[in-house]
Structure 1
């Protein structure tokens, strides 16, 4: 997801001749506004209102690649450490 978002931002930036980074909240709203509203309602009502504002609202202003790149790296690291553990016990 981070790679696709990075390529999309790069191609848009080149086409517009200026740096344009798509914020996660805008992309989510463009793709599925109902689920964004549902996520907000669930978090504010059932978890804690302070988690949505300011924490998640801040994350929603970040570029898509900046949100998904650390998650992707975390999953790569977890997958690599599981492979190392299996190799040690084999």
Structure 2
């Protein structure tokens, strides 16, 4: 059951990455330049006001330096790239087990 949920989430993330890639490609063609949707814009679109509460939460709970050099740059990564990476990772984790090597077929 867990493998099924991992594969389902993986397929949904790969599909979301593909949709984001198509939208970014159409926007890039229309503007005659490379345009992509950064992760912070995608998160603020999906989460709304809750996405803005991430900065104080990280600075208060973890460490202030974690926000500025690490997460600020991570949030500028294209959303399609991260969706593809996490999607393929979940698909790999949810893959069925391979057959054991060395099974005797003779009787």
The TM-score bracket by the shorter chain reads 0.7 to 0.9
RMSD, aligned CA: 1.8
Match of 2:83 in 1: 68
| Alpha-carbon displacement from aligned partner over 1:51-89 (angstroms, at most 9, x marks no partner) | 211111101111111222111111011011xx216x76x
Match of 2:35 in 1: 20
Could you say which structure has the greater relative contact order, defined with CA pairs below 8 angstroms and 6 or more residues apart?
2
Gaps of 5+ in 2: 1-15, 101-107
**Contact 1:2 / 1:64 at 8 angstroms: preserved in 2?**
yes
* Deviates further, 41-50 or 30-39: 30-39
Structure 2 CA distance for aligned equivalents of residues 54 and 33 of structure 1: 23
Q: CA deviation at 1:27?
A: 2.8
Match of 1:39 in 2: 54
**Contact 1:59 / 1:67 at 8 angstroms: preserved in 2?**
no
| Alpha-carbon displacement from aligned partner over 1:14-55 (angstroms, at most 9, x marks no partner) | 222222111111233344441222111111101222221111
Structure with the bigger percentage of helix: 1
Structure 1 CA distance for aligned equivalents of residues 58 and 19 of structure 2: 28
Q: How many residues were matched structurally? A: 85
Gaps of 5+ in 1: none
Secondary structure, aligned partner of 2:97: helix
